[in-house]
Amino acid sequence: MFNMFLKKNVVFFSKMHGLGNDFVLIDSTQHDFFFSPQLIKKWSNRYLGIGFDQFLVLQRSNCVQASFFYRIFNSNGLEVEQCGNGARCVAYYLFLKKKISKKKICVRTKNRYLFLEHIRDNIFKIDMGEPVFTPKNIPFLCISEQLNYTIMIHGINYLIYVVTIGNPHCVIQVDDIKSINVEKIGRALSVHSSFPEGVNVGFMQILSKKKILLRVYERHVGETYACGSGACAAVSVGILNKMLSNNVTVVLLHGKLTISWNGLPGSSLYMSGEAVHVYDGVITH
């Protein structure tokens, strides 16, 4: 098992991914790890560093409810609140390194508690908590709460749905996901003034009530191979608006997730899927 340091300025890490959404995980439960946005940006470079979409720091929990606390940073060094694929990778890391003996544990992120459950092999089920559609909690600026909203981007009006799964999401239903300019539309929406903290943008094509295609533009990052919280957001919107059933397969660019929610207030949404451990390594700084 890797400890945190071999010697000064040498850091152990684990490279992991969830459906191609890749991470570097630093275990700081035994030793404090001091880092900066500049260091994260340096390491995230896919040519001059390790390369990753997001940087996860596992820490000791300071509350009795959670076994661990972990922080999430995008590749540009900015801290974010939530990451569904990252949650599965954290669960797999804890399982692989034998840091947990129970099949189900609670961890804490920046703004909520998550329950991680080992199903089999490298498949994990995450209790993502309750989807919240209240605009002020996303946050989303509007006159009044509605089921959907209209926003103009590049002279075109788009019908959008908004929700938070611990982080802000905007969902657009499309007829043909392959023809959508995800980068152009996603970038413009992600920094739109209606979203004071930015927003992740999901483009959802419904194939049936039990299956959707999804592409996601993540704020500060761009389009990623997969987005777990984005899958949760899209399905919660579809269920709330009677477009989807309570159990949905989400097909992303590099794999599938299963999302379940009964659509009732106060009820948690569940995400199930695989996590992959790629390798362990060391890097100096």
The total of other beta-carbon atoms located within 10 Å of residue 106's CB is 16
Q: How far apart are CA 236 and CA 244, in angstroms?
A: 9
**Is the omega angle on the peptide bond into residue 131 within 30 degrees of 0, that is, cis?**
no
Closest by CA position to 164, among listed 141, 183, 139 = 139
Catalytic residues, by residue number, are: 83, 227
Torsional class of 255: left (φ above 0), alpha (ψ -120 to 50), beta (otherwise):
left
* CA-based radius of gyration for the chain: 18
Q: Is 248 exposed, middle or buried (0-12, 13-18, 19+ CB in 10 A)?
A: buried
The tokens for 285 are 């700084």
Nearest to 219 by CA among 238, 198, 237, 205: 198
β-pairing, 68-74 vs 104-108, is parallel
Alpha carbon dihedral 80, 84, 89, 90, in 10-degree steps, equals: 60
User: In a 3-state reduction of DSSP, which class is residue 261?
Assistant: coil
